[in-house]
């Protein structure tokens, strides 16, 4: 019997969860049983974002309540990068009329996962964000967004990635 490290087990679990997630339609609740049950173990509150490495790229999963989901899906995205010596804060802003919502990725330079995500962002033209709706203890699959990464933002990400 082969022994897997926790990291390998987690990567295998995420791969299965993403495969099962992609089979669902918008508006479908994620089943608590099976691979998608993994999402229930990782999301607790609205406003959380989870970057997941899958097939050599990163996919973001962001969970919110219904009203915010609707604003994110309808909003025009823009980017902001905040840098200091230890951290980078990548913020994607969504403006709908006078309402602004955001998805934030705090990235610690000392963590390998953060460095890998920054490298992915600096070499990518877009990022995929899967919106999840937290409804009475259930997680519902919502719209998937492909957000382009503007050239000026890629330059800031290059500075952050070093």
Q: Report pLDDT digits (tens) over 91-126.
A: 999 998 889 999 999 988 888 888 899 889 989 999
For the chain, the domains span: 6-161
What is the pTM assigned to this prediction?
0.87
CB half-sphere exposure, 126, CA atoms < 13 A: 8
Quote the pLDDT of residue 2. Answer: 28
Q: Identify any residues that bridge with 100 across adjacent strands, giving them in sequence order.
A: 95
Assign 44 a pLDDT band (cuts: 50, 70, 90): confident
Nearest partner of 120 among 103, 136, 130, 107, judged by Cα: 107
Give 52-100 pLDDT, tens digit per residue: 988 888 999 999 999 999 999 999 999 999 988 888 899 999 998 889 9
Encoding tokens for residue 18?
A: 């993403």
Q: What is the DSSP string of 42-107?
A: H--STT-EEEEEETTEEEEEEEE-HHHHHHHHHSEEEEEEEE-SSEEEEEEEEEETTEEEEEEEEE
pLDDT exceeding 90 applies to what percent of the chain? 56
């Amino acid at each position: 019997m082969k022994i897997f490290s926790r990291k390998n087990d987690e990567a295998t679990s995420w791969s299965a969860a993403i495969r099962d997630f992609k089979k669902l339609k918008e508006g479908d609740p994620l089943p608590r049983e099976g691979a998608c049950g993994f999402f229930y173990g990782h999301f607790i509150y609205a406003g959380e974002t989870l970057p997941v490495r899958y097939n050599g790229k990163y996919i973001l999963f962001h969970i919110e309540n219904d009203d915010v989901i609707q604003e994110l899906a309808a909003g025009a995205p823009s980017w902001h990068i905040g840098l200091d010596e230890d951290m980078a804060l990548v913020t994607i802003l969504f403006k709908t009329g006078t309402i602004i919502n955001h998805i934030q990725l705090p990235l610690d330079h000392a963590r390998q996962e953060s460095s890998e995500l920054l490298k992915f962002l600096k070499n990518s033209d877009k990022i995929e964000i899967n919106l999840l709706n937290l409804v009475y203890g259930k997680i519902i699959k919502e719209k998937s967004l492909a957000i382009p990464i503007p050239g000026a933002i890629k330059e800031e990400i290059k500075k952050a990635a070093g």
